[in-house]
Each structure stands twice: as C-alpha cells, then as structure tokens.
Structure 1
C-alpha cells in the first residue's frame, strides 16, 4: 500500500484510541469529539480492509490486526515528536539520551557535564541512571556507560577507565579493623556479582569467607549502608572521593582488585550520529587529560 495515501489524522486517531482504550479519551487528547475519532478510525479500517477494534457495549478492544499496528505507529509518532522537538527558536538541537550506571554518574560524570554543555550547547543531553542493566533499544538509549568486561552481545564498547574495588566503611567500623583477617568476622556488603569479595581476599592471601551480609544492586546504596555502619562495602573507590575527603567513609586497607572497567557502549545495529560522536570524543579527551587513580582510554 502507498503510505502517502494514508490519512495522518486517522492514524493519530487510531493510535490514541488504541493506547487509551477509548474513543472518548482519545478525543480529549486530540481535542476533537468522540464522534470525529470514531469516524476517522472507521475510515482507516475501510481503507485497510480490516477491523482494528471490536466495538463492545462498554468501550473498545483491539483486534489482532490492531495489536500489530499499534506499536509501529506509537514508535513512529514518538520519533516524529522527538525530531520536531529539536527545533527551538530557529535552531536545530541534537538530542542525546545516555544511560549511566548511578555510581559513575554521581562519582565522575555529573561534575564534568557543564564543561560538555559549554562546548556543545546545542546538544540536549538526557540522562537515565540504572543499576548497570538496561535494554538500550527498549529504553531509547543512544549509548550506555556501564561497568563490566566490555563484552556485551551486539554492542560496541569503548573503554573509559579501570575501576579497582577496595573496602570502604564508616570510621567506627574501621576502628575495629586492624588487619584484613578482621574482615572474616565482619559483615561484608555484597553486589550481585558474587565473586568480588572472593577475588579481593585472594589479593591479601586469605581464604574467602562464606558469603553473608546484605546484597545490593547499586554501589551507591551499598556505600550508604556502609556509611551508616551496616558493614564494609567493596566498591570502585575512585567513585567516592567526596565521602573519603570528608571522612564520612574510610578505606581501612589499601589492597584493591580489578574486576571490571567503565565502558561507553552503543548498539552495533545503531548508526553513530553526530551527537554520539561528539559525546564519545569529549569523554575520551576528558578522561585522558585527567590525572589520578583512573586509567584513561586504551590503557
């Protein structure tokens, strides 16, 4: 079918009605009458030669054909809306949606983003934080900064920096820790990556204790628990400089273990656009210019 012959208003009427499960609510959203919505949907059904809705005594229900058409139109209208929103006061704004693990966002990225916006004022940056797991396609992410080994199926990965893990705890807890052996009798706060503590104990030539203590899906939450005296957290220490400088957290032992790095990732099926390229270049330059414990790109 020649899509140029499809009436846009009828497609909008169907999409809104299907999403809201009501001709009436669709009319309110589109600012037309319920009758107008119903007529537009009927005209689309006649044009396509299928029924998109079952008309019920109280409302409507999608047919199989309607279910097949709805996600296509919803995605198309979302994309059109996103594209049109980039035009502001006669200027074209690039939209970049970046997923970031919360630890990296608060521990490194946020304090540096004003510099990025200063260099690229026409890029509308949108951040979505998560716990290292995301569906880039379903979540609408252009790229995703995550922690791991760089091996994710169907994904390009460019290394940002290594992130050695070390124990952190509150000063009161640290006062009870004289040697690493003291950790064998304490509460060890854990992430869902269950081998991290075992690998750290290997670095200090001690057998790993039986797993115990609370488990977290976020280093930020785990560190907060440690700061409140719940135990010792094993986390990327370079992401918590402010807590260490203020004395809220203490690093009781210098030993660390490298279990992963931070990576900038994007789907292989996604063509890298101008905003993605600019963000990736800025990250590379910023990391490589900084000194300290963080390892720059490519090392």
Structure 2
C-alpha cells in the first residue's frame, strides 16, 4: 500500500539535508527553524526511521537520509523545471550544467554561443566548480567532469582525453634545455600528487622534490605559470589560445595521460529534451572538430617548387 506523505515535510527534509541545517532550511523556505524541525520529525515518525543524527554542531544524514535525498532533490528539480516551462507557455526549458572550470574556460565558453543559436528555447545555466561536484545536492541536470569516468550512480560519456604537459612563461622556457633542468625551477602542482612523478617518468628524468603551491584548478596554475611564478603541469588541450599567443610556452613535448573530460548525469534522472539537446550538441561539436583536425593532419602539403639556380658559365680561357 502506497503511503501518502505530506509534501511540506518532504520539502523540509530535502532543504535541511541539502543545507545540513534546520535554520538555513527555514530561511530558504521562509518558515521558522522550529517548524522545519517539527516537519522533519513528523516525516521520520511516518517512515519509522531516523533521517538525521542531530549533533551539537549540526546535522549528519543517516543511511536512510542519504538514500532519500537524491530522489527528492531530483523530483523537486523536475517539478520546478515543469513549472518554468508552463509559466513560459511551454516554449523554454531550464538545463543546469555543472562544469569543471578548466573545461569551461578552455573549450565550452568559446562555443556556447553556437548552442544558444541552435537551441534558443533552452535556458542554459552554467555553474563552474573545481571538479568536486554533487549532482543531486547541487541541483544539476548534467555535469562536465575530469577523471576516469567512474562515478557512483551516474551515466558517463567520454568527451575528450586531456594529457598533461609542462607550461611556463617565455623567460623560464629560455632556461630549459632538457627535462632535468626543471629541478632548478619552482614546480606548481595540483592536489593529485602523482602527476609530476608520472610526467618525469615519461620524460626519462629523475623527479626532484616538489614543493610548489597546490592549486585546485589548472586555470589558476596556468595563470601563475604565465606570470612567471613557476612551471605548471596542465591539460595542454585546454590552453591552445595561451600557447598560440605566446603567453605560455610548452618547453617539452612529453605528456602524460592523467584522465579525460566526461559528460555525466544521474542514472535515476530522466533525460529531458533539453538535456538531450545539450548532450547531442556537445558530442556533435567535438566529433566535427576531431574529424576536421584529422583531415587537416592527413592532407598532403603542396610541394614547394624547386628554384632553378642560374649560374653564368665562365668564359673559356686559352691555355698558355
């Protein structure tokens, strides 16, 4: 027999679980903290299970609460999206996309106007992050992430491989002749400590002790490298503009595979027309660019015409 649970109690739990605070949930829903606490307790009594552990310094979700939160968050998001479409007379759909900052600045933002022109009925909302994302908790329809494609409870489509290679400012590049010269430079690093040792192994040089600052984004690391702070190890494909302009220099060709960019969404999430449109546009755009790149690489280059060297013959001299 299906239970009829009060909508207000479900909404109170979802906000409290997302914010881990009855007080902040009350502020969001414009009711008192006491009302939120009472509604959550009512829901727990009806379910016969505790959804929170109430601690002196805040709330912690129980296993039951962790199981319920993504389902409710997804449901309320879908209700909100349906209401938005109704209010817009069914002509628009909101699609919220979370995107790791490096991919946003290095690829997506340069092409997003094409998507808007092709799909004017979709209201795209882009939220950037440092690759630590909670699709359900952040209210995302889709998430563009960096990694190996293995995220629990999600579908993942491979987009683009992103090998790492060192970059630096032109002055630093002038000092670098071989990979071992990097031992004399300030090496910038990410929170993935294994990246520099892996690169030095590929480059065939011993890895020095690395003590540079740690960055949570390749964008910040590349900016520091361009300003002469040190040498960064970044996904080289995302910094084509900086390399073309000469603001960044790639001193060595060696690169190390560290992960790829993926498009992900919750397996429990029904794919809407707007989500499908963004997914298909993304894949079609990447596929077209890869094909164009391969075509350019395989096209025969015109041969330069050999210049005939005209040599004036010296007049014959009589032998004496």
**Separation in structure 1 between the aligned mates of residue 141 and residue 90 of structure 2, nearest angstrom:** 21
Counterpart secondary structure, 1:234? strand
Q: Distance in 2 between matches of 1:88 and 1:154?
A: 32
TM-fit CA distance, 1:290:
0.5
Per-residue CA shift, 1:250-287, capped at 9, x if unaligned?
11111111111111111222222222222111111110
Residue aligning to 2:92: 93
CA distance in 2, matches of 1:192, 1:270: 31
Q: Residues of 2 paired with 1:180 and 1:109: CA distance?
A: 32
Deviations 1:224-243 (A, max 9, x none): 11111110000011111221
Q: Which moved more, 1:285-294 or 1:121-130?
A: 285-294
Deviation at 1:89? 4.8
- Note closer, same or farther for the CA distance 1:178–1:266 as it changes in structure 2 (3 Å cut): same
Closer, same or farther: CA 170–2 of 1 in aligned 2, 3 Å: same
C-alpha distance in 2, partners of 1:256/1:215? 20
Q: Secondary structure at the match of 2:247?
A: coil
2:287 match:
288
> By how many angstroms is 1:131 displaced?
0.7
Going from structure 1 to structure 2, the CA distance change for 1:270 and 1:80 (only over 3 Å counts) comes to: closer
Note the aligned Cα RMSD (angstroms).
Answer: 3.9
- Partners of 2:208 and 2:2 lie apart in 1 by 67
Q: Is the 8 A contact 1:162 1:294 kept in 2?
A: no
SS across alignment from 1:146: strand
The equivalent of 2:110 in structure 1 is 111
Tell me the alpha carbon deviations over residues 97-121 of structure 1, each in whole angstroms, 9 at most, x when there is no partner.
1111000001001111111111211
* Deviation of the 1:87 alpha carbon: 3.4
Partner of 2:229: 230
TM-score (norm 2): 0.69
Structure 2: how far apart are the matches of 1:79 and 1:284?
Answer: 24
TM-score normalised over the length of structure 1: 0.73
Q: Name the count of aligned residue pairs.
A: 263
Counterpart CA distance in 1 for 2:291 and 2:242 is 17
CA deviations on 1:117-156 (whole Å, 9 max, x unpaired) are 1121111111111111111110011111111111222221
CA drift at 1:88: 4.9
Where 1:157 maps in the other structure, the secondary structure is strand
3-state SS of 1:85 partner: helix
Q: Distance in 2 between matches of 1:178 and 1:293?
A: 33
The answer (yes or no) to whether the contact 2:188–2:230 under 8 Å persists in 1 is: yes
Higher relative contact order structure (alpha carbons within 8 Å, sequence separation ≥ 6): 1
- Give 1:116-265 correspondences, 5 Å limit: 116-265=115-264
Separation in 1, partners of 2:212, 2:276: 42
TM superposition shift of 1:192? 0.8
Is the contact made by 2:162 and 2:261 (CA closer than 8 Å) also made in structure 1? yes
Distance 1:186 1:99 in 2: 35
Q: Identify the residue that residue 266 of structure 1 maps to in structure 2.
A: 265
Structure 1 gaps of 5+ residues are 50-67
**In 2: Cα distance, 1:83 partner to 1:262 partner:** 30
CA distance in 2, matches of 1:290, 1:127: 22
